[in-house]
Amino acid sequence: MERFPRTMSDVNQLVQLGELLTKAIRTVTEEWSQEKFTKQDGSTRSRPVAKNEHCRESDSRPSDKPEILPSWRLHEAQRTILAISGTLTELVAEPYHRLQEFSAQYWEARALAIATERRIPDLLHEAGDNGMCVKVIAERTGIELKKLKRILECLCSNHIFCQTGPECFSNNRISAALVNNEEFRAYIMILHQDVYTASERLPKYMLGPKGASYDATETAWQDAIGSSKPRWEWIAERVNPSQISNDSVGYSGVPDISRPELETFSLAMIGGGNVSGAAHPFDYSWGNLPSGATVIDVGGGVGGFAMQLLSVYSHFNCIVQDRAEVIKHAEREIWPQTASELLHTGRVKFLAHDFFQPNPVYGADVYWMRGVLHNWSDDYCVKILSNIRDSMSEKSRLLICDQLMNTTNGCNEIDSAPSPLLANYGYYTRYRHSRDISSMAVLNGIERTPSEFNQLIKKVGLRLIKFWETRSLFGIIEVQK
């Protein structure tokens, strides 16, 4: 096929990207050096205030540590560099090659699932820097040697794992993040159990008679697993152990044991929250709340956010609300194993609650919802928000913690990336869009723009106070009666 001719505009854009990259690299190296200094002498430093001053005004927020979060300056340089990498790919790659590559990327995700399921990062950690022979890895994982080698070589070429010799592999800094990390391992696995099966059916579903539906019972996921139930009901079913296949999908509910996806999902919400939500106790003005303030974690899963918040603000009280089976798992298993010291303080309580019913706690200081509304289409969200509104007092705040989607053309509420990058930082937001399509395929959920959130908020008679940008996948939307 013919190559596409380039223009002087392309040349100018390439030069601009180089200058932008040089500036961002200088910032990153300065911040890395400062982090190293901080770790050596134990001192702390104030975080520099960047643009979007309306999102980051000075208040009583605590100082975070570089072991937990990058500084704002480093965060912005990191996302700029990642956005540049995507723009460079678009600019330099031959179009046919790029389309060819993009169409096959799902195999890379499946390769990661195989390595994660068999805990290969943990095995390689045992071997140290020299790595482990693929023959030994094959013996210990039960995967055929030659096929396993090709899986690992695929991942190495994508900078996950490192090849130390023709037949040897070791961890690199990316794969090492999975070592002895059951919660984040669960996050990777939940995407490759029943959730991933929906991707196979999505094209057929969207082009079929149910493609325009926003009903939680009419999704590509239901078509894929042969169920008519919403995923939250399906995952709570009890099943016969003999019906659980290796891929953990496609079996009917026969009361006996909990679906394995339920435990994986519970752990995954902690793992995902630790990664995507580490900023949330720091990038909102929690310190302005009074001592003993009550925070209701609505749809809070097994309480991953409460663990994060109470670790920083031990004088708060948290009530974690979710479905009965999730609350039982949290109270009896997750917290005693993961956060027993916080549990013994008595500052956290667990309450089974269906958020489609009126909230039983009236007048709490904060009603917090992280990663909840994106699971539901608009009509469901109106019901959820209306039930919280009816329990709020004048002093209450509702904090909606969800993705704030920008567009490549930009929007008024979110600052655009520097030129010539796409306004929403392009490649940097790749995972955000993957989550959006995943929510669509499995739940008919929606990742929303600020204006779409504002429409929902107005619809239920609430008032938007502020959009808070965070060093996180999720922003925070502050709402009042």
Query: Two tokens at 187?
Result: 């996050």
Q: Quickly count helices (H) and strands (E) in the chain.
A: 19, 12
Asked if 436 and 426 count as a contact pair (C-beta separation under 8 A), the reply is no
Instruction: Identify the CA nearest to 368 among candidates 344, 399, 406.
Output: 399
In a 10 Å sphere around its CB, with 0-12 CB exposed, 13-18 middle and 19+ buried, how is residue 261 labelled? buried
Neighbouring C-alpha atoms within 13 Å toward the C-beta of 63: 9
Which one has a higher pLDDT value, 113 or 45? 113
Model confidence band, residue 53 (pLDDT cutoffs 50, 70, 90): very low
pLDDT exceeds 60 at position 230: yes
pLDDT mean over 14-35: 95
Classified as helix, coil or strand, 111 is helix
pTM for the structure as a whole: 0.89
pLDDT exceeds 90 at position 221: yes
B/e letters for 279-315, b = 16+ CB within 10 Å, e = fewer, are bbbbbbebeebeeebbbbbbbbbbbbbbbbbbebbee
CA 168 to mean position of chain CA atoms: 32
| Average confidence score pLDDT of the chain | 90
Contacts of 269 (CB under 8 A, 6+ apart): 187, 301, 302, 304, 371
pLDDT mean over 177-183: 95
For the chain, domain boundaries? 104-178, 182-240+256-264, 278-405+448-480
The CA–CA distances, whole Å, from 87 to 96, 335, 420, 472 equal 16, 44, 9, 22
CA angle 398, 52, 396 (to 5 degrees): 15
pLDDT value, residue 28? 97
Q: Which residues are bridge partners to 369 per DSSP?
A: 400
Q: How far apart are CA 66 and CA 280, in angstroms?
A: 15
Domain 104-178 has CATH 1.10.10.10: yes
CA angle 316, 327, 280 (to 5 degrees): 40
pLDDT value, residue 6? 86
The CA–CA distances, whole Å, from 211 to 204, 446, 448 equal 9, 15, 19
Model confidence band, residue 4 (pLDDT cutoffs 50, 70, 90): confident
258: enclosing H helix or E strand: strand 257-258
Start-end of H helices in 158-299 = 182-190, 194-206, 220-225, 231-235, 260-276
| Among the ranges given (165-174, 224-233, 239-248, 437-446), the one the predictor scored with the smallest mean pLDDT | 239-248
Classified as helix, coil or strand, 123 is helix
Beta pairing, strands 317-322 & 294-298: parallel
Backbone angles phi, psi at 473, to 5 degrees: -65, -35
Asked if 449 and 375 count as a contact pair (C-beta separation under 8 A), the reply is no
The residue with tokens 């390689």 is 124
Classified as helix, coil or strand, 259 is coil
Classified as helix, coil or strand, 273 is helix
Classified as helix, coil or strand, 20 is helix
pLDDT value, residue 255? 56
Q: Domain 278-405+448-480 has what CATH class?
A: alpha beta
Asked if 394 and 463 count as a contact pair (C-beta separation under 8 A), the reply is no
pLDDT exceeds 90 at position 225: no
pLDDT value, residue 164? 95
The CA–CA distances, whole Å, from 465 to 49, 54, 176, 327, 451 equal 21, 11, 41, 31, 13
Q: What is the pLDDT of residues 385-424, one digit of tens each?
A: 999 999 999 999 999 999 999 999 999 999 999 999 999 9
Q: How far apart are CA 373 and CA 390, in angstroms?
A: 17
Instruction: Identify the CA nearest to 373 among candidates 481, 263, 455.
Output: 455
Classified as helix, coil or strand, 216 is coil
pLDDT exceeds 50 at position 280: yes
Model confidence band, residue 457 (pLDDT cutoffs 50, 70, 90): very high
Query: Two tokens at 191?
Result: 């995407």
Asked if 135 and 145 count as a contact pair (C-beta separation under 8 A), the reply is yes
| Among the ranges given (84-88, 328-332, 474-478), the one the predictor scored with the smallest mean pLDDT | 328-332
pLDDT mean over 214-236: 91
Contacts of 447 (CB under 8 A, 6+ apart): 374, 402, 403, 405, 432, 433, 435, 436, 439
Q: What is the pLDDT of residues 345-401, one digit of tens each?
A: 999 999 999 999 999 999 999 999 999 999 999 999 999 999 999 999 999 999 999
Model confidence band, residue 302 (pLDDT cutoffs 50, 70, 90): very high
Query: Two tokens at 437?
Result: 């399509």
The CA–CA distances, whole Å, from 96 to 6, 92, 250, 284, 426 equal 15, 12, 37, 45, 20
Asked if 225 and 219 count as a contact pair (C-beta separation under 8 A), the reply is no
Q: Dmax over Cα atoms in the chain, in whole Å?
A: 69
Model confidence band, residue 30 (pLDDT cutoffs 50, 70, 90): very high
